[in-house]
């Protein structure tokens, strides 16, 4: 599984999940934007960073790293990028570093270089297999689904889907979170088809959703092509593969690929 991209999709679409991990009020997410920032020297890029809104001058910004493989270079890279960012941008907000591991044994501390930095209250290390989540914390539970065993993934995903439908007020955000849950399970069960997984999760086919029906209702001739283009772009933005979209919409793969950046 491409875990970093999955996590960054979760943080982008449901930023409350990040603050739930830190035991902060989920409402804190309303004051932040999840983005990436280029550090021009040496062409570094901070791929995951939560920046507070301009009117939150005293709140910290969070540099976020997801690491699912042992990497002796990780802390050299994180702190080099962080301090180059501080030198280049001189942000008014204090910094925080959050590193997310699947389990403690993956971490490579390099204590003779980084012990004091890692012991700072500004640095948080999260080990997902040790994470205790409440059923009320949809975001943290969604993140923990990434490290669930295959045997537990389906039942956990079903509970999350029920929770999302129960607590999320609007249909679009419900669909985004359910799509994320389905994507995580697809990666965890590569031997099963997406249709089979949707059946196991009790998900209605996308062609039966209100969005699809409104976009492609019979007899709606005017603007059909533009609507299809918007629909394809939306699916791509959610992380669906061109192959899945082409199969879903019953259109040539080349039609979808022309929308790729």
Q: What is the pLDDT of residues 79-119, one digit of tens each?
A: 999 999 999 999 999 999 999 999 999 999 999 999 999 99
* Reported confidence tier of residue 44, pLDDT bands at 50, 70, 90: low
Mean pLDDT of the chain: 83
Angstrom distance (rounded) from CA 246 to CA 249: 5
* Reported confidence tier of residue 215, pLDDT bands at 50, 70, 90: very low
> 3-class DSSP state for residue 232?
helix
* Reported confidence tier of residue 43, pLDDT bands at 50, 70, 90: low
Pick from 83, 4, 109: which is nearest to 48 by CA?
Answer: 4
Q: Residue 197: its pLDDT value, please?
A: 81
- 261 or 10, higher pLDDT: 10
Angstrom distance (rounded) from CA 261 to CA 196: 30
And the tokens for 195? 């249709």
52 has which bridge partners?
32
Angstrom distance (rounded) from CA 154 to CA 145: 10
Instruction: Determine the average pLDDT of the residues in 115-136.
Output: 92
- 261 or 187, higher pLDDT: 187
Q: Residue 205: its pLDDT value, please?
A: 55
Residue the block writes with tokens 């919409």: 249
CB count, 10 Å around CB of 76?
Answer: 13
Angstrom distance (rounded) from CA 162 to CA 159: 5
Under 8 Å between Cβ of 85 and 39: yes
Pick from 165, 160, 238, 149: which is nearest to 201 by CA?
Answer: 160
* Reported confidence tier of residue 38, pLDDT bands at 50, 70, 90: confident
């Amino acid at each position: 599984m491409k875990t970093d991209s999955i996590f960054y999709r979760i943080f982008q679409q449901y930023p409350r999940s990040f603050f739930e991990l830190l035991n902060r009020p989920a409402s804190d997410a309303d004051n932040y934007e999840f983005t990436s920032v280029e550090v021009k020297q040496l062409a570094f890029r901070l791929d995951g960073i939560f920046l507070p809104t301009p009117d939150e001058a005293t709140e910290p910004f969070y540099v976020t790293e997801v690491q699912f493989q042992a990497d002796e270079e990780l802390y050299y890279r994180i702190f080099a990028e962080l301090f180059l960012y501080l030198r280049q941008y001189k942000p008014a907000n204090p910094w925080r570093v959050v590193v997310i591991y699947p389990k403690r044994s993956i971490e490579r501390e390099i204590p003779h270089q980084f012990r004091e930095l890692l012991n700072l209250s500004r640095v948080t290390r999260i080990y997902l297999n040790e994470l205790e989540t409440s059923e009320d914390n949809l975001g943290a539970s969604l993140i923990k689904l990434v490290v669930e065993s295959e045997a537990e993934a389906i039942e956990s995903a079903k509970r999350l889907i029920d929770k999302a439908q129960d607590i999320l007020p609007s249909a679009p955000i419900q669909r985004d979170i359910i799509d994320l849950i389905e994507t995580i399970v697809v990666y965890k069960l590569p031997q099963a088809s997406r249709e089979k997984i949707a059946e196991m999760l009790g998900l209605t086919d996308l062609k039966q959703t209100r969005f699809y029906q409104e976009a492609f209702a019979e007899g709606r001739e005017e603007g059909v092509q533009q609507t299809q283009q918007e629909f394809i772009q939306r699916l791509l933005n959610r992380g669906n593969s061109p192959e899945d979209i082409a199969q879903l919409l019953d259109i040539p793969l080349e039609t979808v690929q022309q929308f790729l950046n």
